[in-house]
Each structure stands twice: as C-alpha cells, then as structure tokens.
Amino acid sequence: MRDFTADEAASKLGVTKATLYAYTSRGLLQSHAVRGKPRERRYHPADLQRLLDRKEARRDPLSAAARSLDWGSPVLDSAITLIQNERVYYRGRDALKLAESMSLEQVAELLWGVPFEIQPIASRLARLPATDPVTRMQAALPLAAARDMESLNLHPAAVWRTGARILQLFTTIAAERRSASPAHESLQAAWAPKDQRAAQAIRTALVLCADHELNVSTFAARCAASAGASPYDVVSAALATLKGGKHGGATMRVTDLFAEASARGGRAAIANRLRLGERVPGFGHPLYPGGDPRAKVLLRFTRGDSLIRGLIKAGSELLHESPTLDFGLVAVARAFRLPEHAPLLLFALGRTVGWIAHALEQYASGNLIRPRARYTGIAPEAGSG
C-alpha cells in the first residue's frame, strides 16, 4: 500500500490539514519528504491506523482492547525493536544494515546491553534422541535447567549468562557439534563446509530473525517472564509457540510449496492452493504492505534460482503480495542445499536472542501480564435468594 498525501491522510483521519500538521508537530504522526518535491510530505498508512486506533480506544475501550490482540495498537512498552516505514530497528539501529556485517552474538550484545561471552554447556545434552533438532532443543531445555542453578537468579547479569548458555546449547544441537565459533560459522561448517557465501547467508538470516517486536512467541516469552519463570522456561514457552504452523512453523508449509512448485511450476502450485481455498504460505505480511524487507535482503542470495523467481512472480501476479521472512529462509536453505529443518532452526536460534532481551525487559518491569476476558458464554444462573 502506498503512502498517503496530506489531503488523503487528513481525509482518512476525518480532520483538517491544520489538525494533521498539529498531530505531526506533537509527535503523534510521522511524515517523510518526497524525492524531488521538498515541500510535499507523505504519511504511512500504518501510522494513520495507529492514531485511529488510539482515538477509538478513547471512545470504545473494550472493542479497542479486543482488536489490540489482532495486529492492533501496541499493548506493551518496549525499547527493543521498532517496526516503522517498512524497516526494522534494533535499539534504534537499522536491522537490515546490521545484517550486512554483524554476527548474532554481536546483535545479542546490542539487545542485551552487555559484551557477549560464550558459556560452557554439557555436551551430552545436545545428543538427545528426537525426531528433529527443534524437538531436541525443547527436550534439552528442562534437563539443562535442572543442572543450572544460576538460571534461578533473575538478576540481569545472571540472565545474560543463562541466555548465552541457552544460545550455545541451541547452536550445538543445530550444528551437531561443539564450537566456540560464532553461531553462523558453526552452522556453515556443519551444513555447507567451505562455502563462505553460505556462511554470509546464514549470518544474515540469524540477525534478521533476532527480534520482531511483539510477535506471538515473544508475547508468550514475556508472559512467562512476567510470572517469574526462569530464562529456560521463558525460551521453552516461546519455542513451543514458534513451532506453530501460523508462526515459525510456517517454514515447513513454505517448504511444501517449494516442493510442489518444483514438480509443477510456481504459477501452477500457487493456483492450485487458491483453487483449494487454501492460504498460500510465504506471501503477505500485515506489517509490511510494500513487502517484508527481511525477505528482500535474504532473496539477494538466491537471484540465480529460476524456481524461486517463478514463485515470486506468480505470487505478485496471482496474490498481489510479496514474500515474507518464512519464504526468504526457505529460499536460502534451497540455494545453499541446507538441511531440511534449517529454516526453522535459523528462526529459532536467531529469535532466542530476542526472547532473552524481552525477558530481561519484562523482569525489570516487575509487572504480571494478566489481561481480562470478555465473557460470551451462557448467562449465569439467577440467584436463589
């Protein structure tokens, strides 16, 4: 969706242009200049919608609160990640630019606010029998927690160290080997030996997955942290949520779409999903009307792949939507012949850094997250008295 002119923005808000400019000067709205037209300003649709939601919240707080749980207005204060104007910012720094050179551990330093130090773990925890490495991560967390009494200490310094141990545990499970190297180097050595471009793609993917504001797994993490759960339990709650098919688990559905496209062509694969009345995975993100910028960065590594190009073209023509991060992760895995579970592993490993950052922020607030439910069941029985 394109940005609005001042006239269009004022009309959408139902105010005069003078009021629109007053909103901007007071910081309630942000505008940006138009190239070649220095006197003209444009307004992002998402910013206008947020202001409308705030006005609606004052008029009808109950309905506004209900909508806030479905891509609505912000419900928690956070200084970690900002999504604005088709960009993502970690602590005020452009995540897309950070992904050009930073490692996941360097992003952890930024989000956690301390130097990152690799922490020792028990190697046998990474060799648990399970059907897939993500399930091994889930199984390893309570066992590691039982051996890690420091994890019960929720002081920031202790949480940082516990977070580093969890990240090391997950890296060891994903790479199936112990390593003191940065996560992307460990994964590249296990998945695509000697391919330095693969290392670059893996590093970029991990950084872009590190955080994305208050997504469902992060909200689960914050709820657990608000109850005083340890970092292991916080990450366990978040990881279970991440595996859901509507969140990180969507990478498996995108993988299936790629397989169908390989057999019958991208256009036919997408058309078949539409014919069956199914939601086509990997396309369209509510927060990015102009396309998920994280996917755009990842797809630079796959420009020579005709199947990926065909799927993107078909998605544009048949869905009028652009690829999401899930699509980008699967595309990178295909381009470098990474293991089957690599897309979800990259998502989980990268997002662990964000979960710990949000846990730290929630611990510091001291607040218990406890929303109310609006009862819609049968009427209560009349009193006998």
Confidence bin at 243 (pLDDT 50/70/90): very high
More confident residue, 223 or 289: 223
Q: Rounded mean pLDDT of 158-174? A: 95
Q: What's the pLDDT at 59? A: 62
pLDDT at 322 over 80: yes
What average pLDDT does the chain have?
89
- Report how far residue 267's alpha carbon sits from residue 233's, in angstroms, rounded to the nearest whole number: 43
Q: Rounded mean pLDDT of 126-140? A: 82
- Report how far residue 258's alpha carbon sits from residue 326's, in angstroms, rounded to the nearest whole number: 12
Q: What's the pLDDT at 79? A: 94
Provide the CATH number for the domain formed by 100-368 in this structure: 1.10.580.10
For the segment 329-373, what is each residue's pLDDT rounded down to a tens digit?
999 999 999 999 999 999 999 999 999 999 999 999 999 999 888
Q: What's the pLDDT at 145? A: 94
326 is catalytic: yes
- Report how far residue 252's alpha carbon sits from residue 131's, in angstroms, rounded to the nearest whole number: 15
Q: What's the pLDDT at 180? A: 75
- Report how far residue 349's alpha carbon sits from residue 336's, in angstroms, rounded to the nearest whole number: 18
pLDDT at 113 over 80: yes
Q: Rounded mean pLDDT of 1-29? A: 82
pLDDT at 276 over 80: yes
* CATH 1.10.580.10-classified regions of the chain: 100-368
pLDDT at 74 over 80: no
- Report how far residue 201's alpha carbon sits from residue 300's, in angstroms, rounded to the nearest whole number: 9
Q: Which two tokens stand for residue 275?
A: 């014919």
pLDDT at 261 over 60: yes
CA dihedral 283, 56, 219, 171 (to 10 degrees): 40
How much of the chain, in percent, has pLDDT values that exceed 70?
A: 90
Confidence bin at 384 (pLDDT 50/70/90): low
Report field, pTM of the whole predicted structure over 0.85: no
pLDDT at 67 over 90: no
- Among 184, 212, 247, 285, the one annotated catalytic: 285
Confidence bin at 23 (pLDDT 50/70/90): confident
Contact criterion met (CB below 8 Å) for 266 and 258: no
Quick count: other Cβ atoms within 10 Å of Cβ 363? 20
User: What is the dihedral sign for C-alpha 118, 124, 127, 128?
Assistant: negative
Strands of the sheet containing 81-84, edge to edge, are 81-84, 87-90, 93-94
DSSP run (H or E) holding 187: helix 183-191
Q: What's the pLDDT at 121? A: 77
Confidence bin at 64 (pLDDT 50/70/90): very low
Contact criterion met (CB below 8 Å) for 162 and 116: no
Q: What's the pLDDT at 19? A: 86
